[in-house]
A = this chain, B = another copy of it.
Amino acid sequence: MFKINENYLKLPGSYLFSAIGKKVNAYSAAHPDKKIIRLGIGDVTQPLAPAIIEALHGAVDEMGKAETFRGYAPDLGYEFLRNAIAENDYRARGCDIHADEIFVSDGAKCDAGNIQEIFSLDNRIAVCDPVYPVYVDSNVMAGRTGTYDNIAETWSNVIYMPCTEENDFAPEFPKETPDLIYLCFPNNPTGAAITRQRLQEWVDYANRVGAVIIYDAAYEAYISEEKIPHSIYECEGAKACAIELRSFSKNAGFTGVRLGFTVVPKELRCGDVSLHALWARRHGTKYNGAPYLVQRAGEAVYSEAGRIQLKEQVAYYMNNARYIYDGLKEAGYTVSGGVNAPYIWLKAPCGMTSWEFFDCLLEQVNVVGTPGSGFGPSGETYFRLTAFGSYENTVEAMERIKGLEL
């Protein structure tokens, strides 16, 4: 008789954003007349930039002709895209990353969930708390996290690194030694960034204790301060200890287009085993490449026109971020983030829990945010708003929040 993977049953509740979606849909069904403004899930709202639309149309036409039709993509992705990434995201910033160390995928979420597969089941993970739920959940599914404590809302075998006001939302080195360290900067959900100097300390720490850093840089396009690194490979020694995840979702509005990539440097080894070879094997065996169309769209992100248009798009969202940040400050909220990231992190008012404030905002003013507790125990009493709405909706949402009767 077949049996299931019991680890799945340990997962408490459903995936955070599915849970929010269900709650919003239920409210919406009960109140069809209400206009709900969604600043919850980090989903973009601006249309694809003209340079990307043009590249997509061109690639569609190629697929319609026998001479230019493309079937299966190369395992690691098309060279035209990997070269553009290596040149623009790495060499232009002084990072010595080569095209053949880049694995093109259908998004950073998949890579973030799948990367743990190439590591031993008895490796111990460390995560920031609060944090994007995929890191922990994918390790729960694999059986790496021990047992769940319903009261503390923590896993017995996960090292939590609290990120709170006290440490300016930047984690300290953990007391216990981890094997895998998930770092995400600029951070989801807190919007906090890490300085180059502090990230260098993390790289040195990982190399010293023999840990791998899985560095999620999905929000790097939103960095506005010079002291903040865009890639972990700006730090010396990172190629010996770090894997970097990148996404096109937020810098180019690809949440519905699906494109990302993972960098596994060839120097990164465990004894004589290359992690690059392991990830290549996973890619070759369990994945079949991102669509040709989408890879051409990714290439257009790096074109001259694409870069100008996307800089404007990022500026548009960051203008929203400032608007939210300033508005909340004015209204007396405790607020952070929003300077190097499209997320604003605020303290729920009046001693409310995260979900209480979620319900309050949804029911009283029809604004959807994300409860901080969904990202980990240290997120309790916090709340995330995103800058990814339209400017008009952002302004209206802030009017509503300011008028909230608490």
Contact = CB atoms under 8 A, between A and B. Distances in A.
A252 B294 CA distance: 18
A134 interface: yes
Nearest to A206: B2
A273 B11 CA distance: 13
A53 interface: yes
B138 A290 contact: no
A264 to B, nearest CB: 12
Contacts of A44: 71
Interface in A1-50: 1-6, 8-9, 11, 14-15, 17-18, 41, 43-48, 50
Contacts of A338: none
Interface stretch (A62-70, A90-98, A184-192, A229-237): A62-70
In the complex, which of the residues A44, A72, A290 has the most CB atoms of chain B within 10 Å of its own CB atom? Answer: A72
B66 A48 contact: no
Interface stretch (A280-288, A322-330, A355-363, A366-374): A280-288
B2 A179 contact: yes
A290 to B, nearest CB: 7
A293 B180 CA distance: 36
Contact of A256 (B63, B138, B270, B287): B63
Given A18-B284, A288-B109, A65 B43 contact: no
Nearest to A257: B291
Contact of A134 (B53, B61, B286): B286
Contact of A285 (B141, B270, B284, B287): B141
Contacts of A404: none
A56 B293 contact: yes
Q: How large is the interface on A (under 10, 10 to 19, 20 to 34, 35 or more residues)?
A: 35 or more
A329 B76 CA distance: 39
A20 B288 CA distance: 16
A122 interface: yes
B3 A286 contact: no
Given A69-B46, A106-B288, A119 B5 contact: yes
A150 B121 CA distance: 26
Interface in A103-146: 106-107, 109-110, 113-114, 117-123, 133-134, 137-138, 141
A3 B180 CA distance: 9
Given A2-B210, A63-B48, A72-B41, A291 B258 contact: yes
A354 to B, nearest CB: 20
A123 B3 CA distance: 7
A292 interface: yes
A402 interface: no
A1 B179 contact: yes
Nearest to A282: B141
A57 interface: yes
Given A48-B64, A60-B53, A258 B288 contact: yes
Given A43-B72, A47-B66, A179-B3, A256 B292 contact: yes
Given A45-B69, A179-B1, A257 B6 contact: no
B4 A118 contact: yes
Nearest to A113: B286
Contacts of A285: 15, 113, 133-134, 137-138, 141
Contacts of A46: 66, 69
A331 interface: no
Contact of A110 (B1, B122, B281, B288): B288
Closest 4 A/B residue pairs (Cβ):
A113-B286, A1-B210, A3-B120, A2-B179
Given A2-B212, A5-B119, A71-B256, 12 more contacts: A2-B123, A2-B210, A5-B117, A8-B282, A9-B273, A15-B284, A44-B71, A45-B69, A71-B253, A258-B291, A291-B294, A293-B293
